[in-house]
Chains A and B, each alone.
Chain A
Amino acid sequence: MRGGRQLTAAAALALAALVGLAGCGKKAAVRPACPPGQDCVLIGNAAELSSLDPHHVTGIWEARVMRDAFIGLTVDDVDGNTQPGIATSWETSADGLVWTFHLRESVWSDGAPVTADDFVFAYRRSLDPKTANETAALIYVLKNAQPVNAGKLPVEALGVKALDPRTLQITLEHPAPYLPELTKHLSMLPVPKHAVEKWGDAWAQPAHYVSNGPFTPAEWRLGDYMKSVKNPRFYGTAGVCPAAVYYYPTNDAISAERRVLRGELDVSTDILSNRIAYLQKKAPGYVRVKTWLGVAYASFNSNVPGLNDPRVRRALSMSIDREFITGKLLRGGQLPAYTFTPPGMANYTTVAPPEWSSWSFERRQAEARRLLAEAGYGPGHPLKVEIKLRNSPDPTLFYPAIQADWKSIGVDARLAQVETQVAYADYRSRNYQVADAAWIADYNDPITFLFLMRSDTGAQNYSDYRNPAYDGLLAKADAEADAKVRATYLAQAEQLMLSDAPVAPIFFYVSKNLVSPSLSGWVDNLSDRHPSSQLCRKKD
């Protein structure tokens, strides 16, 4: 059996190789090469980008990349607050309709000057039906934006004008004190007119890319990473720290978490809720949790018998034990929600939560039973509802608790889990009774939440809430140039809506980032916006 011995020797060799590997000792984290003496920031960015064109993307992870590449009229500071961007100052007409922005002298990454004409071009492109920009509706506040977007008026009819190369005039449909918030939005980011005209949609390929912000996309390996490099022609380039930023589509939050702890990544923009407590103990200084401008809510379909009765909806809402959900299930610092708009919104005032929110839970349950009985439901004739929920981790965690809460007041609730895409399609066609829904602010202003319940909102008004008084208050707010008065109209509207309970707010979102303590320049904030240009490696 000579051959046998030879084979044994080969196997022994292979085994020795494996053991040898184990004996090598600890290895430094693997990171992509960075120019010598400089630093690169590696961000676990949750999902793959669908495009590098600011008018072709909608996701939060995509906006993160775009805001590192482009500077609009205004821009976020490290706190997520609005500060002057390409516009250094602006004036508003007395009626709040005409805004004049004065632009700084600046250039694109290829050296061409950034002019007011670039903005005119960008806004028209953003609203041109041919662009098929999915977030165009957010800037319908611009004069004639909606008919332009519908193809009923030519793009030239849009209320935006270049008075001279460095003066831009924007005319609005109605006063909107939140315009400087909006000008940071994807739909209002500038695009380089000369490059778009030359390359068409291919301008957004890294090979042709031109940007005016701290970084310029340079290399995109689909599914692997997108790399943006420092733009030396950016007006604030002296204050930009990293030489390059890598954005990784880290679909698996746990895997991303391990990579951050090991130093293979610097940031992960998502942590699973149930890992937060563990991580805070295991890796002090990494977990960054902060209230965010988003709300998770249950929507009641008001076309469904039973749920069309405000008493029933109120009963269902008040019997949800929100403190249990946030404190015992999610445990990520989420706040129980009794109003629809999160605390701390700009251009707003405090909204009083419903009276019952201060009651003991037992009293709320008793009141809920009474309301249900009044509406004709009780032990002999229980209310039966189906809760439709998205099959993502958080809803599947807390909806069983809501189901139990409702059972305790005699409501027979059934859970139906569906794919996220299917869920939204069903909500829109009203093919549901109770829906698990959520909303994240597009910009920091209450209207981004409150418009959802306006009767003309259509498909997205999942509960089909129709209240002329509510619509009237929103219309009054729209017509109001004084920000303080506008805020009181909006608050009245929200209070009115909350007492009708077309929705049951459940909790306010938190942003959950895992950030290496070796980085400075990351400031937790309400908008969860963190310019990569300010992320610096601490020297030690």
Chain B
Amino acid sequence: MASFLLRRLLTALPTLFLVITAAFFMMRAAPGSPFDSERKLSPEIERAVMAKYGMDRPLGEQYVNYLKGVVHGDLGPSLKYKDKTVIEVLAENFGVSLTLGLSAIIVALIVGGTLGVFAALRQNGPIDYLASTLAILGVCIPTFVTAPLLVLLFASRLELLPNAGWNGGAPENLILPVTVLALPQIAIISRLVRAGMIEVLRSNYVRTARAKGLSEFRIVTRHVLRAAVGPLVAYLGPAAAGLLTGSLVVEKIFNLPGLGKFFVISALQRDYTVVMGMVIFFAALILVLNLLADLLLAALDPRMKLS
């Protein structure tokens, strides 16, 4: 276990380093600069601005300085949000993405899991077909279609829920964005659970459990689900990273202060430091969540060995 963790951490560091290096040079290779706009800066001002952010140095030196900063936990100042550091930008917005993402994962697990279990238990029955239809729709309809449709119906027409806004994370403001984020996940999760369940339901130990006279509820919850969620857990690692780091579409349509929107806006504005900070954060998050998924998998399924 300890050696497994150590090995994973040791491979994580070079991965992060490669990600940082690639992102740094790709960002700088993109045409335009953070200070390009309709109004051209006078050469004096441009020099002063560049000097302020150390961007008057050769690129190699900037790269080394940046790495030094990262090692010391300093991601630098934002080039666009001038009174904020990158860490502050990340910290102020991650809470929102975390709330949204976690809620969406929980909703997706409950709804998708239930649908998947039912579909597997009543294979080729009406519930199974209904779940399949929902799953196909959920996967096929992109969020930029579901979000405006749900807003049109529940907010603009029925006037039940707010159209947009965060409002300090009030529950009524969360319902629509969480639903939009959860729908495709519900679809995938229900399919994963269904497939896993069907496979396990046919296995010998389930037959043994049935022969012992255990109730169907007990068999499903105790024996089948535990083994059937393997693919689901493996999927959840990266999926959670995706959800927790925010979605541009959902955050833009619902005007939410999350990370996804900032990532894209910052990339378009060439806010080098914020983009770099987010890339590092995303990469680290994915590495950590994948590791967690592996550990969880081992804990859940007695047949798995960490190696």
Contacts and interface: CB of A to CB of B under 8 A. Distances in A.
A4 B216 contact: yes
A11 B114 contact: yes
19 contacts: A2-B217, A3-B219, A4-B121, A24-B160, A27-B160, A50-B81, A133-B45, A136-B42, A150-B44, A222-B88, A224-B257, A248-B165, A250-B255, A251-B255, A255-B164, A258-B151, A419-B32, A419-B268, A420-B268
- Chain B contact residues (Cβ within 8 angstroms of A): what range? 35 or more
B83 A460 contact: no
Interface of B: 31-33, 35-42, 44-45, 47-49, 52, 80-84, 88-89, 92-93, 96, 110-111, 114, 117-118, 121-122, 148, 151, 155-156, 158-168, 170, 172-173, 175, 215-221, 252-258, 261-262, 265, 268-270
Contacts of B44: 129, 146, 149-151
Contacts of B219: 3
A504 B31 CA distance: 27
B147 to A, nearest CB: 9
Interface of A: 1-4, 6-8, 10-11, 14, 21-22, 24-27, 29-30, 32, 48, 50-53, 56, 58, 129-137, 146, 149-151, 201-202, 204-205, 221-224, 248-252, 254-256, 258-259, 261-262, 264, 419-422, 424-426, 428, 438-440, 458-460
Contacts of B82: 50-51, 53, 56
B77 to A, nearest CB: 10
Contacts of B165: 30, 248, 259, 264
A32 B67 CA distance: 42
B31 A422 contact: yes
Given A30-B162, A424-B37, A425-B33, A262 B155 contact: yes
B33 A134 contact: no
Contacts of B41: 134, 137
A256 to B, nearest CB: 7
B164 A264 contact: yes
A201 B162 CA distance: 37
Contact of B166 (A53, A137, A224): A224
A134 B80 CA distance: 12
Given A51-B83, A256-B255, A264 B162 contact: yes
B163 A258 contact: yes
Contacts of A136: 42, 45
Contacts, number: 194
A126 to B, nearest CB: 11
Contacts of A258: 151, 155-156, 163-164
A2 B215 contact: yes
Contacts of A48: 81, 265
Contacts of A58: 37, 39
Contacts of B257: 221-224
Given A258-B151, A258-B163, A460 B32 contact: no
A424 B52 contact: no
A315 to B, nearest CB: 27
B168 to A, nearest CB: 8
B270 to A, nearest CB: 6
Of A48, A56, A146, which is in contact with the most chain B CB atoms at under 10 Å from its CB?
Answer: A48
B49 to A, nearest CB: 4
B36 A149 contact: no
A438 B38 CA distance: 8
A377 B38 CA distance: 33
A52 B45 CA distance: 19
B42 A149 contact: yes
A229 to B, nearest CB: 17
Nearest to A1: B216
